[in-house]
Amino acid sequence: MRADAARNLEAVLTTGARMLAADPGASIANIAAEAGVDRRTVYRRFASREDLLAAIYECRLAAVERAIDDARLREAPVAVALHRYVENIIAVNRAWPVDLARMLADDDVRARRDASVREVDVFLERATAEGVLRSDLPQGWAGALLPQLMHLVSRQSPETTPARAADLVVETLLRGLGVS
Amino acid sequence: MRADAARNLEAVLTTGARMLAADPGASIANIAAEAGVDRRTVYRRFASREDLLAAIYECRLAAVERAIDDARLREAPVAVALHRYVENIIAVNRAWPVDLARMLADDDVRARRDASVREVDVFLERATAEGVLRSDLPQGWAGALLPQLMHLVSRQSPETTPARAADLVVETLLRGLGVS
DNA sequence: ATCAAATGACACGGTCCAGTGGCAATTGAT
DNA sequence: ATCAATTGCCACTGGACCGTGTCATTTGAT
């Protein structure tokens, strides 16, 4: 692949991710125009609209897997792993803000996504066992809340650094907003 | 209006809300079919697709206003008002799960929505002043987190009663998920 | 400088959907 | 029972978008 082709490919992927996050029904024509590329060029790289979406979700999926890997959820101390995971995912949310929920049709995507979710679930169980999380929480509540918190802070304050944003998320998750 | 017409109208509104929540791009034909009504009937009640959306968002908007009113955010004790507000909004989320974010084009809708948001913001300031919420939180964090919590619990556990769901939301908001 | 790869531009057919018109059939109110 | 309101069904136009073909032009690598 030539250098300009690689540039265009990346532009289409990142611009597509941004536009699809804002409006899941964004057309190929709009994405191509926003990426400064002809509509036909997109169809030369991706066989169909679904293919483009799959490629974008693949980017997010891979980034999430790297984030989990880097956080060492199974080995590192819970407090360290939690903060690192949150910080990494916030960065991923900003780079690839697309919502995976609309892509669960693809079995491959679903399997990898489930694997990541399970990895986090296992970590949350460890956090509970080590006394970081309360043990009387409803099933799946922590696992559902954490992504929402990261997603919220990713959009709410796009200017703050991922590290500081992670501080806020972890603090909110563990201690809430009330006076101690 | 005849009785059957009223039934059809309500079916279109509630079904439309449910389907638009699942997929904001749902077509009139799909909504009508799901509501057990001919597509033409929808167009007899609503001049355009925008009109139907506006009517649905109006339903949610009115329900939110009633919820705020009922919670007596300005007068009732903070703990009481908070729980009651959360409980009411959870019920609204289930009845009208549509996301208002896509309707801010309409000035009237936006004004009413802003008024409701401000009402809650004022309440959160009171909660801070009375020592229920911490005072060192980032600007707008509580106001952004609370709706997300309510939205999350509305979808996460649709079977639990609004009162119990509100327990969980308030507990999470104020004390988080960590061991105290 | 040269050549192959990549792109942009225009065109075309197909599909889905919004919105409208008409008409026969049904249904609720009286 | 009767009548008016309401509905269901068929058809139609216009527009947006998807996906493809073609070809002249540009651009990067050598």
- On whether both A39 and A88 belong to a single domain, the answer is no
Examine the pLDDT at B1 and tell me if it is beyond 90: no
| C-beta neighbour count of B19 within 10 angstroms | 19
Give percent of chain B above pLDDT 70.
Answer: 100
Instruction: State pTM to two decimals.
Output: 0.95
Contact B133 A178 (CB under 8 A): yes
- The vertex-B59 CA angle with B172 and B47, nearest 5°, equals 145
- Band the pLDDT of B104: cuts 50, 70, 90: confident
pLDDT for res A101: 82
Cα distance between residue A95 and residue B18, in whole Å = 31
Closest-CA distance of chain B to residue A21, Å: 13
**pLDDT score for A107:** 86
Q: Which nucleotide comes closest to A29 if you measure CA to C1'?
A: D17
How far is the alpha carbon of A100 from chain B, nearest alpha carbon, in Å?
14
* pLDDT, mean over chain B: 96
Q: Which nucleotides of D are covered by protein (CB under 7 A)?
A: 5-11, 16-22, 27-29
pLDDT one-digit tens code per residue, B11-27: 999 999 999 999 999 99
Indicate whether A39 and A72 sit together in one domain.
Answer: no
pLDDT score of A102: 80
Question: By C-alpha distance, which of A142, A136, A140 is closest to A176?
Answer: A142
| pLDDT for the residue numbered A106 | 83
Q: With an 8 Å Cβ cutoff, is A137 touching chain B?
A: yes
Using CA atoms, how far residue A28 sits from A12, A22, A53, A106, B152, in Å, is: 10, 14, 10, 20, 31
Q: Is the CB of A2 under 7 A from strand D?
A: yes
List helix spans (H) across chain B: 3-22, 28-34, 39-45, 49-71, 78-95, 107-129, 141-156, 162-175
Say yes or no: B153 and B94 in one domain: yes
Which residues of A are less than 8 Å from B168 in CB distance?
Answer: 138, 141
Distance, CA of A139 to CA of A119 (rounded, Å) = 16
Cβ of A1 near strand C (under 7 Å)? The reply is yes
Nucleotide minimizing C1' to CA distance for residue A47? D19
Nearest Cβ partner for A144 among B24, B152, B176: B152
pLDDT (tens digit per residue) in B146-171: 999 999 999 999 999 999 999 999 99
For residue A51, being part of any structural domain is answered with no
- On whether residue B7 sits in a domain, the answer given is yes
CA torsion, ordered A54, A55, A58, A63, to nearest 10 deg? -150
Residue A85 to residue A145: CA distance in whole angstroms: 14
Cα separation, B75 vs B89, whole angstroms: 18
Q: B94 with B159, same domain?
A: yes
**Quick one: pLDDT at residue B106?**
83
Report d(CA A89, CA A162) in Å as an integer.
9
Task: Tell me the average confidence (pLDDT) per consecutive run of 10 residues in chain A, 180 residues long.
Answer: 94 98 96 97 97 96 98 98 98 95 83 96 98 97 98 97 98 96
Q: Which domain holds residue A153?
A: 57-175
**Does B23 lie in the same domain as B59?**
no
The structural domain count of chain A equals: 2
**What residue in A sits closest to B25 (Cα-Cα)?**
A25
The CATH code of the domain that includes B59 is 1.10.357.10
Q: Are residues B150 and B64 in the same domain?
A: yes
Task: Tell how far CA A36 is from the center of its chain.
Answer: 25
Q: From CA A178, how far away is CA B133, in angstroms rounded?
A: 4
